[in-house]
């Protein structure tokens, strides 16, 4: 089984960040990182539309620049949008000022008050800087669809095992995750609906 919950120390370091939505309802929040791209994102939107689900997409600014028609469809169909930097920068390998400027570059194309750091990499200085402009959103449950060493079946079984009310679940609308995503997403939605869960966007 390979599914990651956000580490406890992250919640301690960044107590104002969102990792899970407090709710007594059986409600979950599907999120998608790294798009939009033509090979995957339209398929994701088709699945969500068929299931009447709105989700939250943390978009890479460069991809929004390249594929504005896909991004516009996301907005048009009622999905929530978040900033995921312009170039999908890893914070641990990037100068803080360069990172903040990259987020600002993405903001030119992504008008949102939500931000998720790529790879979940963050530090206190970046947090203090960006929390003035954004709600910082991590996750409660990582599908691990991006991991080529894992199967779609493992992604699905992890979601079944670890989901709980208020879970923010991460998938990826990316080429790297495509195989596992195409298997796990429809089956995860079917399972969650069967278990009585409803879906909402992060706000």
Residue that is written with structure tokens 């779609």 in the block = 152
Beta strands in 50-197 (DSSP E): 56-59, 80-83, 114-115, 135-136, 141-142, 168-172
Residue 121 φ then ψ, to 5°: -85, 130
* SS3 assignment, position 118: helix
Domain that holds residue 29: 8-199
Would 142 be classed as within a structural domain?
A: yes
Strand bridging mode 56-59 / 114-115: unpaired
Which tens digits make up the pLDDT trace of 95-144? Answer: 999 999 999 999 999 999 999 999 999 999 999 999 999 999 999 999 99
Catalytic amino acids? 33, 172
Would 26 be classed as within a structural domain?
A: yes
CATH number of the domain that residue 126 is part of: 3.20.20.370
Would 3 be classed as within a structural domain?
A: no
Which tens digits make up the pLDDT trace of 10-67? Answer: 888 898 999 999 999 999 999 999 999 999 999 999 999 999 999 999 999 999 999 9
Total-model pTM: 0.96
Would 85 be classed as within a structural domain?
A: yes
With contact defined as beta carbons under 8 Å apart, do 22 and 164 qualify?
no
Total domains in the chain come to 1
């Amino acid at each position: 089984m390979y599914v990651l919950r956000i580490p406890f120390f992250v919640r301690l370091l960044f107590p104002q960040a969102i990792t899970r939505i407090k709710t007594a309802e059986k409600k979950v929040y599907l999120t998608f990182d790294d798009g939009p791209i033509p090979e995957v994102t339209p398929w994701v939107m088709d699945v969500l539309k068929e299931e009447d689900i709105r989700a939250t997409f943390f978009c890479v600014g460069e991809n929004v620049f390249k594929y504005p028609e896909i991004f516009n469809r996301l907005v048009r169909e009622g999905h929530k949008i978040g900033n995921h930097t312009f170039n999908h920068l890893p914070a641990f390998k990037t100068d803080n000022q360069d990172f903040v400027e990259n987020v600002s570059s993405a903001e030119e194309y992504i008008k949102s008050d939500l931000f998720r750091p790529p790879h979940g990499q963050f530090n206190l200085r970046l947090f203090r800087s960006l929390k003035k402009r954004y709600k910082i959103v991590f996750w409660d449950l990582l599908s691990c669809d991006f991991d080529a060493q894992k199967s779609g079946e493992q992604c699905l079984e992890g979601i079944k095992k670890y989901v709980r009310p208020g879970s923010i679940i991460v998938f990826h609308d990316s080429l790297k995750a495509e195989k596992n995503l195409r298997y796990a997403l429809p089956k995860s939605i079917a399972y969650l609906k069967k278990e009585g869960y409803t879906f909402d966007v992060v706000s």
